[in-house]
Amino acid sequence: MAAFRALISVSDKSGLVDFAQRLVAAGGEIIASGGTARKLADAGVPVLQVEDVTGFPEILGGRVKTLHPAIHGGILARRTAQHLDELTAHSIRPLDLVVVNLYPFQETVAQPNVSVATAVEEIDIGGVALLRAAAKNHESVTVVCNPADYTMVAEAFANGGTGAHLRRVLAVKAFRHTAEYDTAIAAYLADQVMDGDAPAEASSAHLPAEMHIELVQVQLNRYGENPHQQGGLYGYAGEKPAFEVLHGKEMSYNNWLDLDGAWTAAQDFAAPTVAIIKHGNPCGLASAELLADAYTKAFASDPVSAFGGILAVNRPLDLATAQQVGDLFLEVIAAPAYDAEALALFQRKKNLRILLHTGPTLRPLSLRSIVGGVLVQDVDRSQADMDPGAWQIVSRRPPTPQQLADLAFAWRVARHVKSNAIVYVKDEATVGVGAGQMSRVDSVMMAGHKAGERSRGAVMASDAFFPFADGIEAAAKHGITAVVQPGGSVRDAEVIAAVDQLGLAMCFTGARHFRH
């Protein structure tokens, strides 16, 4: 009789054959399901089919194969006289080792244009049941869910079997693996509800009544925002990280925070766009036909603040753009791809953090911790108010086509600037940004100070309405010629009168874009 019995049912078959051969050499008997059994048999490994043990064939196209008392009884039986006698009465033999990895649900839904039906078919049922059963009975059963553990487990069985500590460590891994798997499934299906792919009655509650989120530590930072604070990056369980660090020092807490602002800002534009972020706000953001030209315009917006900033782009970063960056000191550069020559040029800078976007797109909800709970809201990705054709022209003088194009650009930038947000734009590039001021007129003056003479003939966007005409009057002194804002103030008439008296153009969007 075999020294131990192992059940193997794996989707990822890397390292499978060598592992099974080592188990057989250690005296093990292998039982395997469908594709796993065929893989082993083709390699000459002695193997029993699951149906040889259960006496029942796979049914429903493979949906049911291991869900059977002959399998789960052998896994869940405690090694007591009562349980063992009960197994014997039903001609069931105990199982000592369960090796399972699950259908690739996360990898499937990460592919573009995957249908819900295809995703649902990749939800593993039997595999999860096997892992949980074996992990529950880790007092007697060894469970393996990661091929990285094959060598360690094979060596343990070759030396007489696994110890209690190792079995418990592996059981914890299995429970975490199934928890991450279930979380990924729930998150995906919840996203479908949010996106309107579910029946109307299922999506009537826009925000879920309950949220179950599992976070997994990706990185511990040296500290948080300040050296006396601890900090770290956590990712959603079951999802790969959004970025791969290709080069440079380890990312800090503040690097990650500013990268989020830079990345989301750059990706919000259709044309080649460069965003340079400093302390959570754009100090330069521009679009152009060529990425290199967009960088030149973004850098010119505020060259002083760009020093030590975070740069993100929405196109593969090419050599021409890398050459434009030149010797500017940046903390982080992020792109969806890099030309080889551009990457090589950046890698000459020893400490520059070079990041490649490899992970999921922006989630539909934003979460923020507060005292006693978490605030949840939709991510601000509205598109209707981004169309100038839907705006209301409230001034006597309409904006020119060039002004309207710049107003549309400025309005989109404004939602990426901390409130009170004021953005000066010329030729689809920021020339001055006023952010985070308690008074809107102070933001107007700050943007004008940053822009200097470049504000002459520029346009202005405000993330919320002007409560008084003083903000418009201050902008006019800086040479602003056209304004876009939500409107809705009780003093709109006074503000419009000031616009007309100063000879400006102004549009109302009807939407606000606070960002705190």
Number of folded domains in the chain?
3
Give me the DSSP letters along 22-42. Answer: HHHHTTEEEEE-HHHHHHHHH
pLDDT at 431 over 80: yes
374, part of any domain? no
Spatial separation of the C-alpha atoms in residues 218 and 337, rounded to whole Å: 22
The dihedral through the CA atoms of 247, 253, 256, 262 has a sign that is negative
Among the listed ranges 163-167, 211-215, 312-316, 504-508, which one has the minimum average pLDDT value?
211-215
Q: 332 is in which domain, residue-wise? A: 241-357
Distance CA 32, CA 71 (A): 11
How far from 335 is each of 254, 271, 356, CA to CA, in Å? Answer: 18, 14, 5
Are residues 162 and 13 part of one domain? yes
Give a yes or no: residue 265 inside a domain: yes
Q: State how far the Cα of 446 lies from the Cα of 436, in Å rounded to an integer.
A: 10
> Which of 172, 192, 212 finishes a domain?
192
Task: Find the mean pLDDT for residues 253-275.
Answer: 96
Instruction: With residue 99 as reference, give the H or E element that holds it.
Output: strand 97-101
* Selection from 459, 473, 390 nearest residue 428 by Cα: 459
Give domain status of residue 95, yes or no. Answer: yes
The pLDDT score that the predictor gives to residue 200 is: 37
Percentage of the chain exceeding pLDDT 90: 57
SS3 string, 257-288, reads HHHHHHHHHHHCCCCCEEEEEECCEEEEEEEC
* Cβ atoms of residues 483 and 504 within 8 Å: yes
Task: Quote the mean pLDDT of the chain.
Answer: 88
Give pLDDT, residue 392.
96
For residue 102, what are its two tokens? Answer: 């699950």
Q: Tell me the residue type at 315.
A: R
Query: Is 17's pLDDT higher than 60?
Result: yes
C-beta of residue 97 within 8 angstroms of C-beta of residue 28: yes
The tens digit of pLDDT for each residue in 133-186 reads 999 999 889 999 988 889 999 989 888 888 899 999 999 989 888 887 777 777
Q: Which of 136, 240, 247, 349 is catalytic?
A: 136
Q: Is the pLDDT of residue 243 over 60?
A: yes
Residues 19 and 159 in one domain: yes
Q: Are residues 171 and 249 in the same domain?
A: no
> In the block, which residue shows the tokens 């947000």?
421
Q: Identify whether residues 164 and 251 lie together within a single domain.
A: no
**306 and 416 part of one domain:** no
Of 161, 192, 223, the domain-final residue: 192
Report if residue 202 sits inside a domain.
Answer: no
Q: What is the pLDDT of residue 62?
A: 64
Domain membership flag for residue 203: no
Contact 337, 317 (CB under 8 A): yes
Average pLDDT over residues 221-241: 88
Q: Clarify whether residues 319 and 170 are in a common domain.
A: no
CB atoms within 10 A of CB 251: 19
CATH for 32 = 3.40.50.1380
Rounded to 10 degrees, the C-alpha dihedral 27/32/38/41 comes to 10
Is there a cis peptide before residue 146, judged by omega within 30 degrees of 0? no
Active site residue 416: no
Q: Is residue 375 part of a domain?
A: no
The contacts of residue 140 (CB under 8 Å, 6+ apart) are 77, 78, 79, 94, 96
Catalytic residue among 83, 240, 279, 349: 279
Residue 199 pLDDT: 40
Q: Is 513 helix (H, G, I), strand (E, B) or coil?
A: coil
328 shares a domain with 276: yes
In a domain, 236, yes or no: no
367 lies in a domain?
no
Query: What is the tens place of the pLDDT at every residue in 65-119?
Result: 677 887 888 888 888 888 888 778 887 888 889 999 887 777 777 677 778 787 7
Question: Contacts from 55-60 at CB under 8 Å and sequence distance 24+?
Answer: 58/33, 58/34
**Domain identity same for 72 and 167:** yes
φ and ψ of 298, to 5 deg: -65, -45
Within this chain, do residues 353 and 389 fall inside the same structural domain, yes or no? no
* H or E element, residue 300: helix 291-301
**Which amino acid makes up residue 249?**
K
351 vs 116: which has the higher pLDDT: 351
The answer to whether the predicted template modeling score (pTM) of the entire model surpasses 0.85 is: no
CATH of the domain at 325: 3.40.140.20
Closest CA to 107 of 172, 178, 188, 218: 188
For range 8-23, the mean pLDDT: 88
Tokens for 495, please give them.
Answer: 């503000």
Confidence category of residue 63, pLDDT binned at 50, 70, 90: low
Task: Say whether both 246 and 289 belong to one domain.
Answer: yes
207: left (phi over 0), alpha (psi -120 to 50) or beta: beta
Asked whether 130 and 137 are in contact (CB, 8 A), the reply is no
Q: Is 279 assigned a catalytic role?
A: yes
Residue 372 DSSP one-character state: T
Higher pLDDT: 443 or 45? It is 443
Residue 16, pLDDT above cutoff 80: yes
Which among 192, 225, 258 is the end of a domain? 192
Q: Are 170 and 268 contained in the same domain?
A: no
Contact 515, 413 (CB under 8 A): no
The pLDDT score that the predictor gives to residue 114 is 73
Distance of alpha carbon 289 from its chain centroid, rounded? 28
Verify that 97 and 171 share a domain, yes or no: yes
Can you tell me the distance from the alpha carbon of 263 to that of 162, in angstroms, rounded to the nearest whole number? 47
